[in-house]
Structure 1
């Protein structure tokens, strides 16, 4: 294919597509590591690379050999260090495939109104429970996952596997309940587990008023495809975490729309 000749530079349509794909990949990586400790790790790796280049140029044989051995296992080290980011990247790619993006059209073809009615039926008890817990300032963390990962949740949760109901959610998060300390995980139209201890986010840019409940909700949304609803025990404010980002002071109307879209 004939390209465009700019004296010393020839750019073909394939090169343009190549550049756009690389730019898209960089953007995805940026969205994944923004406001996380991964940024500091990348900066550290960049500094080590510069140091390696400097000692090699100065012919410091001992340091060059040591750093060279370290660099030789760089790919394996990258996989280990950035395993959470790689997992999130693959989830992000999966959620943005053609079929996922166009599932609304399938809904229109195969009974979208019926799907919406079913969504409202399962979301209503959750909204009602959130209203009650906001009023009483009962702290809560409710995590919604599309695919329940037994290995991820089984080791730190109490199995429930019960129908979603307002009273059950209120009972779980009631202050003196043995299951209140932790998260509830909802999947497959059921409360799958409760009292889940989740990994905290590494993000060090969060507001100071965010406690362990908020950090756990944000953390699980970083590491999986989950979304989390967090109710503050101090203020009763409702927050919504998705893909490591948190929306604060969410109204019940907004919460209903978000859950209907994501859950």
Structure 2
């Protein structure tokens, strides 16, 4: 047995950083898959790996050869199986990058206008429509998309490309209207489409009281750099989803702050 001093003789500060980075990446990946079906897939893979170690220890050559062949294409298989989680992981990195966090400084350096006062004209029709639908308990799902190119779920409804207004939003989500089911997609202060079908979140840890609109709002913010407003048809509560998380029962003042921050 090697002395403890010899065991850690080549252990330096960069090895500590290396271990911490690996641990951090594992934590990020776990936070993404927690509560989803991907956890069951990981458990299945872990059990298969244990079985592989067993047949290898018992020198079962045929089974070991089969596992070795499968392992040779395992990386590609893992990318296919976890493509959604990998996409969300990359989105998380991009959304939290230093460049993304310092947009305010970039505006200051390059002389662009700040949001205060400018953004309110853009969000005023949304706030007023939400106030009206909240009071009448009209169910609604509004998505704010930064990029709609190549995103099928933003174009699978009725294409409108109409100017954003309070009356238009109220008309679309009218309970007897043909477009009230599904989501309205807003981009660049335009109502791009209505009655869109969005992907539902696979998170199994959400409270049962959250319905399909809430799950669709969370789902779209998991797979794209979007945010979403949900108005409950049962209670009139306003909720706001971003980065795969949702804030429920928020006030209109809080909603205004969220929109001013995220529509920059």
Report the counterpart of residue 179 of structure 1 in structure 2: 179
Cα pair 2:148 2:154 within 8 Å, conserved: no
Give the root-mean-square deviation of aligned CA atoms. Answer: 2.0
CA contact (8 A) 2:214 2:230 kept: yes
CA positional deviation for 1:50? 0.9
Q: Is 1:125 aligned with 2:121? A: no
Deviation at 1:135, TM superposition (A): 0.7
In the TM superposition, residue 170 of structure 1 has moved relative to its aligned partner by 0.7
Q: Is the 8 A contact 1:144 1:185 kept in 2?
A: yes
Cross-structure match for 1:101: 101
Supply the distance in 2 between the matched residues of 1:122 and 1:6 (Cα, whole angstroms): 65
Q: How does 1:2-81 map to 2 (within 5 A)?
A: 6-9=5-8, 10-81=10-81
TM-score normalised per structure 2:
0.90
Rate the CA distance shift 1:6–1:242 in 2: closer, same or farther, 3 A: farther
Say if 1:107 and 1:115, in contact at 8 Å, map to a contact too: no
For structure 2, the 5+ residue unaligned runs are none
- 1:182 Cα deviation from its structure 2 partner: 0.3
Question: Which has the higher mean CA deviation after the structures are superposed, 145-154 or 245-254?
Answer: 145-154
- Paired residues in the alignment total 259
Distance 2:171 2:60 in 1: 66
Q: Give the stretch that moved more between structures: 157-166 or 113-122.
A: 113-122
Q: CA deviation at 1:199?
A: 1.3
Are 1:245 and 2:245 an aligned pair? yes
Specify the alignment match of 1:192 in structure 2.
192
Matches of 2:180 and 2:150, distance apart in 1: 21
In the other structure, the counterpart of 2:220 is 220
SS at match of 1:116: coil
How much does 1:114 deviate? 4.3
Q: Which runs of 4+ in 1 moved over 4 A?
A: 110-114
Aligned to 2:85: 85
- The residue matched to 1:115 in structure 2 has which SS? coil
What TM-score does the superposition give when structure 1 sets the normalisation length? 0.90
Give the Å deviation of 1:59: 2.7
Q: Distance in 2 between matches of 1:58 and 1:240?
A: 55
